[in-house]
């Protein structure tokens, strides 16, 4: 990290195995930007506690997510990979930022409203404060850019607002981050309900393809994917199912939407869905294999995250000290 490249920060919650939507919306962009930026990728395990979790499952999923980052092509030599809970500054900065955040800003967040509905029996303060923890993740590292899917745009807006608000109140401290949202695939929809986003925690497993699904599951789920009336394969608002499949195909084949439309002109839905499934499977088979190898070497993964946490603690510690100084928390002289 000792060069003058700008910082890129992103994270995913270990709330399940990432889906092809997480891959298209976020991870694929991470790979593209690895050389251009100093990249920091976290596993947002503290965020994960905002909804009910089985502790054992959370632990396993966290390690699996690290393996998946690497299996997808994130290079641990070039990037900093760590678990959010291993770096205390994230929770500490959250407290400070809470003091300049208003409840109304958080209660009107789309994700908060969705998740409050979905987890009505457990609407806790953490769920509401989620975007402030996310702002801390980002602001601790002087982050310039944050690759995310469309659904996180509102949270990034808050991170920007809080950076500016803090800077105005206490003097220049935080960089104001920019989102990077993909042009195609920023919002991949459920295969069963193309009006709702694909989500790794969907109760209906046929709605998503996880990066660990085997070939049979990939083929079966695409075969069952909901399409639209008519038979034309084109990208259009009145064809949400087909448009979604075209976006997925485009992301996995590297072809543009226009090229894909041309390729499938006159082709039936069945054949089209098979082609999408094959394009996805050809990438997933490699990821599955690599993940399996990585998970067999736990010491290697533990080593990566230990090293990552050390780097992240060093970088975030500097920013947190600055923040503590700015807001007026007392520091004894010999601590300097």
Residues that are catalytic = 115, 197, 200
Q: Which does 320 bind (CB under 5 to 8 A by kind): ligand LTN, ligand ATP, none?
A: none
Tokens 């659904």 correspond to 151
Which residue in the block uniquely carries the two structure tokens 């919306």? Answer: 25
Q: What is the C-alpha to C-alpha distance for residues 233 and 269, in angstroms, rounded to an integer?
A: 8
Closest CA to 234 of 281, 200, 269: 269
Site size toward ligand LTN, by CB under 6 A: 14
Q: What mask of x and - would describe binding to ligand ATP in positions 110 to 149, judged by CB under 6 A?
A: --------------------------------------xx
12 bridge partner residues: 43
Q: According to CB under 6 A, which one of 79, 85, 136, 152 is a site residue for ligand ATP?
A: 152
Each residue 201-220 as x (binds ligand ATP by CB under 6 A) or -, in order, gives x-------------------
Distance (Å, whole) CA 119 – CA 51: 7
207 binds, among ligand LTN, ligand ATP, none (CB under 5 to 8 A by kind): none
Asked if 294 interacts with ligand ATP (CB under 6 A), we say: no
Least CB distance to ligand ATP at residue 180 (A): 10
Partner from ligand ATP, ligand LTN, none binding residue 15, C-beta < 5-8 Å depending on class:
ligand ATP
Nearer to ligand ATP, 12 or 257 (CB): 12
Contact stretch for ligand LTN (CB under 6 A) within 10-18, 74-82, 259-267, 323-331: 10-18
**Residue of the chain from 14, 38, 40, 47 that contacts ligand LTN (CB under 6 A):** 47
Residue 208: name the closest of 15, 42, 31, 22 by CA.
Answer: 22
Q: In this structure, are residues 207 and 192 in contact, taking their beta carbons and an 8 Å threshold?
A: yes
User: Does 134 engage in binding with ligand LTN (CB under 6 A)?
Assistant: yes
Calpha distance 60→178 (Å, rounded): 32
Length of the chain counted residue by residue = 336
C-beta pairs of 60-66 under 8 Å, 24+ apart in sequence: 61/14, 61/15, 61/16, 61/17, 62/14, 63/295, 63/298, 63/301, 64/14, 64/17, 64/212, 64/291, 64/295, 65/12, 65/14, 65/17, 65/18, 66/301, 66/304, 66/305
For ligand LTN, the closer of residues 13 and 247 by Cβ is 13
Q: 311: burial class by Cβ within 10 Å (0-12, 13-18, 19+)?
A: middle
Site residues, ligand ATP (CB under 6 A): 12-13, 15-16, 19, 21-22, 24-26, 148-149, 151-152, 186-188, 197-201
Site residues, ligand LTN (CB under 6 A): 9-13, 44, 47, 134, 137-138, 146, 148, 152, 155
């Amino acid at each position: 990290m000792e060069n003058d490249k700008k910082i890129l920060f992103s994270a995913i919650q270990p709330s399940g195995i990432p889906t092809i939507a997480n891959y298209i919306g976020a991870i694929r962009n991470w790979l593209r930007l690895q050389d251009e930026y100093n990249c920091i990728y976290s596993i947002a395990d503290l965020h994960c506690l905002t909804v009910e979790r089985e502790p054992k499952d959370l632990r396993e999923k966290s390690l699996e997510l690290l393996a998946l980052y690497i299996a997808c092509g994130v290079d641990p030599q070039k990037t900093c990979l760590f678990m959010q809970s291993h770096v205390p500054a994230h929770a500490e900065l959250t407290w400070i930022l809470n003091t300049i955040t208003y409840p109304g800003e958080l209660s009107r967040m789309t994700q908060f409203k969705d998740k409050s509905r979905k987890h009505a029996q457990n609407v806790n303060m953490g769920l509401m404060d989620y975007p402030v923890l996310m702002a801390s993740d980002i602001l601790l590292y002087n982050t310039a850019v944050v690759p995310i899917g469309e659904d996180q745009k509102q949270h990034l807006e808050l991170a920007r607002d809080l950076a500016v608000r803090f800077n105005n109140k206490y003097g220049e401290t935080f960089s104001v981050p920019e989102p990077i949202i993909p042009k195609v695939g920023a919002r991949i929809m459920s295969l069963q309900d193309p009006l709702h986003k694909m989500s790794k925690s969907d109760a209906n497993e046929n709605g998503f393809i996880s990066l660990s699904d085997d070939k049979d599951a990939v083929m079966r789920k695409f075969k069952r994917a909901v399409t639209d009336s008519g038979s034309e394969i084109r990208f259009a608002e009145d064809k949400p199912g087909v448009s979604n499949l075209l976006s997925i195909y485009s992301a996995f084949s590297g072809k543009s939407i226009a090229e894909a439309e041309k390729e499938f002109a006159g082709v039936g839905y069945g054949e089209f869905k098979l082609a999408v499934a094959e394009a996805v499977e050809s990438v997933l088979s490699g990821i599955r294999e690599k993940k399996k190898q990585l998970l067999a070497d736990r010491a290697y993964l533990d080593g990566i995250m230990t090293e990552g946490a050390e780097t992240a603690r060093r970088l975030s510690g500097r920013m947190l000290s600055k923040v503590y100084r700015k807001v007026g928390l007392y520091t004894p002289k010999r601590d300097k």
